[in-house]
Amino acid sequence: MPLQPTIGLEVHAELSTKSKMFCSCANEFGAPPDSHTCPVCLGLPGSLPVPNRQAVESVIRTGLALGCHVAERCRFARKNYFYPDLAKNFQISQYDEPLTHDGHIDLEGEGQPVRIRIRRAHLEEDTGKNIHLSDGHTLVEYNRCGVPLMEVVTEPDFRTAEHVREYLYTLRSILQYLGVSSADMEKGQMRCEPTINWIDPDTGERTPKVEIKNLNSIKSVYEAVKYELARQKRAAAMGEEELVQETRRWDEAKLVTATMRLKETADDYMYFPEPDLAPLAPEPEWIEEIRASLPELPRARAQRLVVDYGLPAYDAGVLTETRDLADYFEAVAAAVPDAKLASNWVMGDVRAWLNQEGGDISTLPLAPTALSELVSLVAAGTINNTTAKDVFAKMIAEGKGAQEIVEAEGLAQISDTGELERLVERAIADNPKIVEDYRGGKRKAIGALVGAVMKATRGQANAGLVNKLLKKKLG
Ligand code: ZN
Ligand code: MN
């Protein structure tokens, strides 16, 4: 049997709580350095931690959404290590008793569904940040120290870099739907560390595990996993390079992984139960309340959009990428006769505008009712698509309604057969060469004649009708 890749993933997500994990300092990104600190998150002697209820709820919410069990009782543990960004010299985490455990995420695969088992989703605190200056000095910044952090760990169920990538998109979207984390990798709110090795399924023999750090986008995770799989396979087959258990970092510029340090084991951290915190025992009624408040998740919502609106699966996938975009689409679709047309507009012009402006749907200065007014005019044949695109831009620029713009500027589509017939005849008379081509069998030549009529009407002619009239006249 050939060697098989095994990949596991550890994801850390910062929770969007109001305050930090064990103190009342604000959990806010981008504040002046060290402005959100206190004796607890600076680890000063005599200070005592108090757990954040909203953070506990966020992990339970996530656990339930991933089909995990919520522990009846669990404890925090100290993970001991020295690093300048960790003021206490230990991190409060969870070790042998995670808050939630044993769930799964189902991926679409490549038309072949794949189940990734979730080993655990637990709660811990984030560290501060070391900022390395070009003069060789290092600054330590403590605003992030003590920010609630959720760690989601999978079983080593991934076989390809593509599945790892799909998992990260899926998990990110689930966390955003749940409202527990913004999960923005560029802001360091979601960080992931894949562990990769190869196994011989016959003998059970395996190459040493390699963990990769320093990954700051889903794209770099994908590239790093691909690179590392290839490096290890080559090393195992050729024996040119000795494989060792280690932590490697991803070099964004050279697109290679490189040794960072030899892998520490759990023993190195000397975990022990956190003596300053009582065990957590979430009340069953509270867990049921959280379960009842779970929103419809992206996958279920995409499946419903296919059924309720008759959309292609592709459209449904794109529209449910974020909860806000899906809400927006549904609000537009509710008020138009053609849901697919609404989908085309949201997926096309709306998303193009968002990409160009770099914002999310909340920044679009166009209420769903405004867009449905425009879509309805297209559906009714009052304006054609070309005109509608101009109207869309004007609606955003001028803040006016679609109907209002169409009336004020006389943009309604020309569907008057008499007038169009006259224009068609002129197009035929003006373009003898094209007409000859068409009659000689070049059927595509008709496009140029339609174009001539559209030009004469500044794009307002009903193109379908023009096409029909031309065919009739040309025989
Ligand atoms: Zn604090
Ligand atoms: Mn961790």
For the chain, domains (ranges, CATH) are: 4-288 (no CATH), 296-409 (no CATH), 417-474 (1.10.10.410)
CA dihedral 155, 159, 160, 166 (to 10 degrees): -40
Crossing angle of helices 161-178 and 298-309, rounded to 10° = 80
Q: How far is the CA of 215 from the centre of ligand 1 (A)?
A: 28
Please provide residue 181's backbone torsions phi and psi, each rounded to the nearest 5 degrees. Answer: -155, 145
**Residues 233-259: tens digit of each pLDDT:** 988 888 778 889 999 999 999 999 999
Please report the pLDDT score of residue 264 as a whole number: 66
Q: How many CB atoms lie within 10 A of CB 472?
A: 10
Please report the pLDDT score of residue 3 as a whole number: 86
pLDDT band at 414 (very low <50, low <70, confident <90, very high): confident
**Residues 157-191: tens digit of each pLDDT:** 999 999 999 999 999 999 999 999 999 988 889 99
19 in Cβ contact with 36 (< 8 Å) = no
Q: How many CB atoms lie within 10 A of CB 125?
A: 24
d(CA 150, CA 122): 6
Pairing between strand 246-251 and 210-213? Answer: parallel
Residues 6+ away with beta carbon under 8 Å from 46? 39
**Residues 265-322: tens digit of each pLDDT:** 767 889 999 999 999 999 999 999 999 999 999 999 999 999 999 999 999 999 999 9
Q: What are the helix (H) ranges across 218-367? A: 218-238, 284-292, 298-309, 313-319, 323-333, 339-345, 351-357
Please report the pLDDT score of residue 263 as a whole number: 63
Please report the pLDDT score of residue 79 as a whole number: 95
Q: How far is the CA of 137 from the centre of ligand 2 (A)?
A: 27
Ligand nearest to the CA of 151: 2
Q: What are the helix (H) ranges across 399-445? A: 402-408, 417-430, 432-439
d(CA 33, CA 289): 38
Q: How far is the CA of 49 from the centre of ligand 1 (A)?
A: 9
Ligand nearest to the CA of 271: 2
Please report the pLDDT score of residue 218 as a whole number: 95
Q: How far is the CA of 470 from the centre of ligand 2 (A)?
A: 69
Q: How far is the CA of 213 from the centre of ligand 1 (A)?
A: 27
Mean per-residue pLDDT, 23-41: 95
**Residues 321-376: tens digit of each pLDDT:** 999 999 999 999 999 989 999 999 999 999 999 999 988 899 999 999 999 999 99
Asked if the model's pLDDT at residue 381 lies above 90, the reply is no
Report the mean per-residue pLDDT for the chain: 93
